[in-house]
Amino acid sequence: MLLRQSEVEQKYRLSKTTLHRWLRDGKLTDHRTVGGHRRYDSAEIEALLSVSDGVTVTDKDVAISSRCSTQK
């Protein structure tokens, strides 16, 4: 399925900068509409995400870290 840039940003939590870097590096291809707007293939993005971090998009978890200190 082809997605607009805003849909990709929202669905996969990717920034515009990341998408453009992937395009520049040849990792991602964009599809242009007649009006010149970019569309991205969701399957291609999901494949990139699974290769880049070793997990699929649906397997992502959130890690929370906190720092505790004691007063003396």
- DSSP, residue by residue, 34-67: TTS-EEEEHHHHHHHHHHHHSS-GGG--------
Rg of the Cα trace of the chain? 17
36 occurs within a structural domain: yes
Residue-wise pLDDT for 19-50, tens only, equals 999 999 999 999 999 999 999 999 999 988 88
pTM for the full predicted model: 0.66
Distance CA 25, CA 48 (A): 12
Q: Which domain holds residue 20?
A: 2-59
- pLDDT value of residue 50: 82
User: What's the CATH number where 39 sits?
Assistant: 1.10.1660.10
Distance CA 37, CA 55 (A): 30
- pLDDT value of residue 57: 45
48 occurs within a structural domain: yes
Question: What phi and psi, each to the nearest 5 degrees, are found at residue 29?
Answer: -115, 145
72 occurs within a structural domain: no
Number of structural domains the chain divides into: 1
